[in-house]
């Protein structure tokens, strides 16, 4: 019997399962495609599923191509703090920005786009990287009276981690399903993200805790 039973008002947030983050994409997360069947399986246990979609204009400030002399994975100091620079990815209406067709969650109720402001990145589904601009997701979950938040997807150390931490900051109980995520791990970012999530009170489980 599974250790954890999903309640009727629990919600699964599936983060950024888009072609650019999958093998073959411009910012591919190693082994990212391996979690798709697991996420599909987990999603069947939830009555409520939200998908996030990284969604950038072609001249987005997080792209290394927008900073003279900078390469992907270097950092730059912006008004709101240190920004990791990325290869161009998830550009509006491009194939790479599409959510993978292998994701089989027809009952997903909301696709939340983030990162559409040119001058502000948004790893988190709840709040942009300036830590001031809300996406509206806190209000959506609250208005629908949804309960514990479970988070899966890509990438563990950026969009999954920030989404989980911001959900906790917004007052939700939050759990990350470890083996239904994959990380980028640049400059120790994966270990740092798990430490920050633990610090924020985010629980870390394995999918078998729900599925077995
Ligand atoms: Zn992005």
What are 51's strand-pairing partners?
A: 14, 111
Q: Nearest-CA neighbor of 183 among 53, 33, 30?
A: 30
Predicted pLDDT at 145: 96
Q: Is there a domain that residue 82 lies in? A: no
Predicted pLDDT at 139: 97
Question: Phi and psi (nearest 5°) for 205?
Answer: -130, 175
- DSSP string of 32-81? GGGGHHHHHHHHTT-SEEEEEEE-B-TT-TTBGGGSTT--TT-EEEETTE
Predicted pLDDT at 122: 96
Predicted pLDDT at 20: 98
Q: Is there a domain that residue 79 lies in? A: no
- Catalogue the active-site residues: 16, 114, 159
CA of 115 to the centre of ligand 1 (A): 6
Q: Is there a domain that residue 83 lies in? A: no
Predicted pLDDT at 6: 97
Predicted pLDDT at 147: 83
Is residue 14 within 8 A of residue 152, CB to CB? The reply is: yes
Counted domains in the chain: 1
Is residue 127 within 8 A of residue 168, CB to CB? The reply is: no
Interior angle at CA 8, CA 54 and CA 108, nearest 5: 30
pTM more than 0.85? yes
Q: Is there a domain that residue 140 lies in? A: yes
134: its two tokens: 């809300």
Q: Is there a domain that residue 130 lies in? A: yes
CA of 209 to the centre of ligand 1 (A): 30
Each of the 212 residues of the chain gets a pLDDT tens digit; together they read 689 999 999 999 999 999 999 999 999 999 999 999 999 999 999 999 999 999 999 999 999 999 999 999 999 999 999 999 999 999 999 999 999 999 999 999 999 999 999 999 999 999 999 999 999 999 999 999 998 999 999 999 999 999 999 999 999 999 999 999 999 999 999 999 999 999 999 999 999 999 98
CA of 56 to the centre of ligand 1 (A): 7
CA of 1 to the centre of ligand 1 (A): 38
Q: Nearest-CA neighbor of 205 among 150, 129, 160?
A: 150
CATH code of 111's domain = 3.40.50.850
Q: Is there a domain that residue 186 lies in? A: yes
Is residue 2 within 8 A of residue 210, CB to CB? The reply is: yes
Q: Is there a domain that residue 144 lies in? A: yes
Q: Is there a domain that residue 72 lies in? A: no
Predicted pLDDT at 190: 97
Predicted pLDDT at 33: 98
CA of 149 to the centre of ligand 1 (A): 22
Give the SS3 label for residue 200: coil
Residue length, the chain?
A: 212
What is the domain extent for residue 48? Answer: 11-57+90-211
Q: Nearest-CA neighbor of 110 among 55, 45, 51?
A: 51
CA of 23 to the centre of ligand 1 (A): 16
CA of 133 to the centre of ligand 1 (A): 16
Predicted pLDDT at 123: 95
Eight-class DSSP state of 208: H
């Amino acid at each position: 019997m599974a250790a954890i039973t999903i309640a009727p008002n629990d919600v699964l947030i599936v983060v950024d399962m888009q072609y650019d983050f999958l093998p073959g994409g411009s910012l591919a997360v190693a082994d990212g495609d391996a979690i798709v069947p697991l996420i599909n399986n987990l999603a069947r246990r939830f009555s409520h599923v939200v998908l996030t979609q990284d969604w950038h204009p072609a001249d987005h400030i997080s792209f290394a191509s927008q900073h003279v002399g900078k390469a992907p994975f270097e950092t730059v100091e912006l008004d709101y703090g240190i920004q990791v620079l990325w290869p161009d990815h998830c550009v509006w209406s491009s194939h790479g920005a599409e959510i993978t067709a292998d994701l089989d969650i027809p009952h997903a109720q909301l696709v939340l786009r983030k990162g559409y402001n040119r001058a502000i990145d948004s790893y988190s589904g709840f709040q942009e990287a300036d830590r001031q601009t809300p996406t509206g997701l806190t209000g959506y979950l609250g208005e629908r009276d949804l309960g514990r938040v479970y988070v899966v997807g890509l990438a563990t150390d950026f969009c999954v981690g920030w989404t989980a931490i911001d959900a906790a900051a917004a007052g939700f109980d939050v759990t990350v399903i470890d083996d239904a995520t994959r990380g980028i791990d640049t400059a120790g970012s994966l270990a740092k993200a798990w430490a920050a999530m633990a610090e924020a009170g985010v629980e870390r489980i394995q999918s078998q805790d729900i599925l077995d």
